[in-house]
Amino acid sequence: MSQLLEGKIAVVTGGTSGIGLATAKEFIAQGAKVVITGRKKDEVEKTAAEINATGIVSDQGKLTDIDDLVKQVKSTFGLVNILFINAGIVLFSSIEDATEEHFDRIMNINFKGSFFTLSKFLPIIPKGGVVTLLSSINATTGQSNSSVYSASKGALNSLLKVASTELAAKGIRINAVCPGPIATNLLASVGLDNATIQNFASATLNKIPLKRFGKSEEVAKLVTFLSSDDAGFITGSEYVIDGGTNVNSIIG
């Protein structure tokens, strides 16, 4: 049985947990050689060994790290067929209380880092290459206390439209995946206590028409499809995967 990504070289930023890890595993299962990145050396090395990937320590919020990442990937593999720009953070604040540090920390990783990861990898992505950006339904929803995070994802979606036009001339496709409520440990990683996380989860669950949280593996399968030749006529598109959350019916 043929594999969707057989013989491809893939890079997954933020590939040590959650959607990034699930996607790296799915890429490997579909025949790709995979590079994962992360900011913590121990996590990167441990995860890479467990899933049989190449691990490179890299902070998407630092342009020098992105430069080093591209150099290492080019030196080892020569090119990249698939780039999944997944690394990102979630932090919450009201508009009134948001500090410059809060703004810069989110934007430096989620948008600036994503922008320059794309820009700096392009010279080693050949014709037929595919890029996927991890966005969010927050790019188009009005969730309270998420102004900077939502703006960072909205910026990614705007970048997608321009990039799809520019990259088409190079024979490179680019799309965005916009998850809604996915069961990951992302909220715990930003310092919220268990009670707060449980309250948030309960309130969110009531807004999901399918009455469950999505799985990282489900997002991974969507990213894998978009990265494969089966999606060869798809570019510049935003794919929402949220259990119907974005429908937000007024009655019923």
Give the confidence band of 200 by pLDDT, cuts at 50, 70, 90. Answer: low
30 contacts 228 by C-beta, under 8 angstroms? yes
Q: What is the pLDDT of residue 250?
A: 57
**Average pLDDT of 150-178?**
98
What is the rounded CA–CA span in Å between residue 206 and residue 204?
Answer: 5
Angle at 218 between CA 191 and CA 40, to 5 degrees: 40
Q: How confident is the model at residue 194 (pLDDT cuts 50, 70, 90)?
A: low
User: In this model, does residue 188 exceed pLDDT 70?
Assistant: no
How does residue 221 score in pLDDT terms, banded at 50, 70 and 90? very high
Which residue ranges make up each domain of the chain? 9-239
Instruction: Give the pLDDT score at 185.
Output: 55
- Best CA proximity match to 112, nearest among 68, 66, 145: 66
Name the band, by pLDDT with cuts 50, 70 and 90, for residue 207. Answer: confident
6, pLDDT greater than 70: yes
219: left (phi over 0), alpha (psi -120 to 50) or beta: alpha
Average pLDDT for 228-236: 98
Active-site amino acid positions = 149
Instruction: Give residue-wise pLDDT tens across range 59-108.
Output: 999 999 999 999 999 999 999 999 999 999 999 999 999 999 999 999 99
CA-based nearest residue to 233, from 136, 103, 130: 130
Which superfamily, per CATH, for 9-239? Answer: NAD(P)-binding Rossmann-like Domain (3.40.50.720)
**How would residue 152 be classed by pLDDT, with cut points 50, 70 and 90?**
very high
* Percentage above 70 pLDDT, the chain: 90
Q: Give me the pLDDT at residue 116, please.
A: 98
Express each pLDDT in 17-72 by its tens digit: 999 999 999 999 999 999 999 999 999 999 999 999 999 999 999 999 999 999 99
Task: Label residue 171 left, alpha or beta by phi (over 0 means left) and psi (-120 to 50 means alpha).
Answer: left
Alpha carbon separation from 162 to 124, 138, 146 (Å, rounded)? 20, 20, 25
Mean pLDDT of the residues in the chain? 92
Cα(32)–Cα(15) distance, integer angstroms: 14
**Residue 191's pLDDT is what?**
55
